[in-house]
Amino acid sequence: MGNYSNVLLETSDNIATLTINRPKALNALNKDTLLDIKAAAQEVAEDENSHVLIITGAGEKAFVAGADISFMSKMTPQQAREFALLGQDVFRTIETMGKPVIAAVNGFALGGGCELAMACDFIICSENSKFGQPEVGLGVIPGFGGSQRLPRIVGSNMAKQLLFTGEIIDANEALRIGLVNSVETADQLMEVVTKKVKKIVSNGQISVRYCKEAVNEGMEADIDRSMTLEANSFGLCFATEDQKEGMKAFLEKRKAQFKGK
């Protein structure tokens, strides 16, 4: 896979792993890092051998400690707007790519780091993780979608509490409010995430993709429209070899061999 200055990208067993790699700055997101994340995500989206993407942070302390405050401190209003639009675009690329993206949060996920994790399909974190949107303490608001995704995930009242106070919550509180799906020991985080991801990879990739689209698009639509979306995608599955193989394998009492076709 391609070489990037601020992220590492590797693939094995159909699983791509993108590691934000600026550990000295706790993987803070500057413009170049955002551009690397976007290019790497697009590479994975186009790579036939990558079925799932895991995003994590280098080092033992942080997933991503936020947008780079030293970089942001000197921005003009116009540059700030451009920076917010860039981050939003990068995170939308992740959110809308036709493959599952799992955040393996291994430490601080603050500000832009929490926003990056929330743009993924779900989050599994280590016990030492900390989450929060501390932007109000810096005199700004979240700029990479945090004020929009947080209420969609944890509900508007809890989101407002976190956004207004800027408080940092630990992994167990993140689990309690439904921000993360599970909390693992730091040692076992990648093992657990990989196990989960291997289950995803063993399924029909087209149907996994349709599930992602159905949830994402359905969440933004009224119930009638979202039911139509589901019915349409359900119908489309019957145009795939995977549907024929999946149902045939069940009836023959064997494990399906999906081809993603």
> Which residues have a catalytic role annotated?
115, 135
Q: Please give the DSSP secondary-structure letter assigned to residue 29.
A: B
Q: Mask: binding to ligand DAK, 59-98, rule CB under 6 A, as x and -? A: ------xxxxxx---------x--xx--x-----------
Burial of 140-179, coded b for 16+ CB within 10 Å and e otherwise, reads eebbbbbbebbbebbeeebbeebbeeeebbbbeebbebeb
The Cα–Cα gap between 147 and 174 comes to 16
**Per CB under 6 A, does 121 bind ligand DAK?**
no
**Per CB under 6 A, does 135 bind ligand DAK?**
yes
Segments in the chain forming alpha helices (H): 31-46, 69-73, 77-96, 112-119, 146-154, 156-165, 171-176, 189-201, 205-219, 223-237, 241-251
In the bound state with ligand DAK, the residue whose beta carbon lies nearer, of 139 and 235, is 139
In the bound state with ligand DAK, the residue whose beta carbon lies nearer, of 40 and 117, is 117
**Per CB under 6 A, does 28 bind ligand DAK?**
yes
**Per CB under 6 A, does 157 bind ligand DAK?**
no
Question: For ligand DAK, which residue of 39, 140, 175, 186 counts as binding (CB under 6 A)?
Answer: 140
The Cα–Cα gap between 97 and 119 comes to 11
Q: Interface with ligand DAK by CB under 6 A: which range of 49-57, 140-148, 179-187, 235-243?
A: 140-148
The Cα–Cα gap between 36 and 19 comes to 11
**Per CB under 6 A, does 103 bind ligand DAK?**
no
In the bound state with ligand DAK, the residue whose beta carbon lies nearer, of 69 and 186, is 69
Could you tell me which of 13, 51, 9, 53 has the C-alpha nearest to residue 33? 9
Q: Interface with ligand DAK by CB under 6 A: which range of 130-138, 179-187, 203-211, 219-227?
A: 130-138
Q: Interface with ligand DAK by CB under 6 A: which range of 3-11, 49-57, 104-112, 245-253?
A: 104-112
**Per CB under 6 A, does 100 bind ligand DAK?**
no
**Per CB under 6 A, does 36 bind ligand DAK?**
no
Q: Which two tokens stand for residue 127?
A: 């016990």
Q: How far from 236 is each of 79, 142, 225, CA to CA, in Å?
A: 43, 38, 17
Residues making contact with ligand DAK (CB under 6 A): 25-26, 28, 65-70, 80, 83-84, 87, 108, 110-112, 134-135, 138, 140, 142-144
